[in-house]
Chain A
Amino acid sequence: MADHTLDAKGLNCPLPILKARKALKEVPSGGTLEVLATDPGSVADFEAFCRQTGNEIVEHSVDGDVYRFLIKHNAA
């Protein structure tokens, strides 16, 4: 169970990333953020975002049109 969930369904680049960044600020270090998105580009983008910011995708799944990412907040 994630600490926070961000529903970014229907949003296009770069909004899922921008909203995830904001949402991560509400997640304590070591906690997790669940992101739901329908933008197919978000798969590559969340990987790049996490590599750059030092956060970690601990789970990634697809359910129909919806991409689900579970991001562990590592950064301070």
Chain B
Amino acid sequence: MSSEAQVVQDAVAPVAAPEEKSMSIIVTKGSLDWAYPPFILATTAAAMGLPVTMFFTFYGLPLLLKKLDLQVTAAGNPAMKMPMMGGHMGLPNLVTAIPGVDAACSVMMKNLIKKKGVASIEELRELAVEAEVRMIGCQMTMDLFEYDKEDMIDGVDIGGAATYIEVASNAHINLFI
């Protein structure tokens, strides 16, 4: 092959995807209920042998804080119905605005979680750390909401959109939660 042809071929040859499958997740929500999908999927993928990266941005960022105090709200969430007395009960939106209702919903949810053998977010996060899931905190969100790296758990990387895109461009599974 002439060197010219070689140059052309090199220029159009697609970058081969890495052999190893991997996964990335953008974590944008930090309520008790929405914290579950990213941590469940990250820990499970890691257990199935996939390198995993989680990118925590906006309301997802506080999930990296050392001390978690996760709450759930029924406000604006008509699909949230709790099992109660053999049926399922939701709350009218107006009721969800009453002070103390969110706290009560959170306590109820945490009790259910315990009763049904579902892991706590603290436990799942610890398992994720143990499984060497890479966690990246969004620098812009840290500036915006005034969070310090010292308040986060150990081992967190700090980065921005480009850091995530580099990871995602090499991953087979990229989720936005």
Could you tell me which A residues sit within 8 Å of B by CB distance? 10-15, 17-18, 20-21, 39, 49, 52-53
Contact = CB atoms under 8 A, between A and B. Distances in A.
B158 interface: no
A66 to B, nearest CB: 14
Contacts of B119: 11-12, 14-15
B90 interface: no
Contacts, number: 34
A12 B49 contact: no
Interface string B138-175: 00000000000000000000000000000000000000
Contacts of A53: 48-49
A16 B174 CA distance: 24
Contact of B117 (A15, A17, A18, A20): A15
Contact of B49 (A13, A20, A39, A52): A52
A45 to B, nearest CB: 8
A18 B68 CA distance: 22
Nearest to B119: A15
B118 interface: yes
Query: Helix, strand, loop or mixed for chain B's interface?
Result: loop
B177 to A, nearest CB: 15
A25 B47 CA distance: 11
A53 B21 CA distance: 12
B79 to A, nearest CB: 20
A14 B117 contact: no
Interface string B46-62: 01110000000000000
Contact of B47 (A10, A11, A39, A49): A49
A39 B116 CA distance: 10
Contacts of A18: 43-44, 47, 127
Given A14-B119, A18-B127, 4 more contacts: A13-B118, A18-B43, A18-B44, A49-B47
* Residue from A14, A39, A49, A53 with most neighbouring chain B CB atoms (10 Å): A14
Contact of A17 (B47, B116, B118): B47
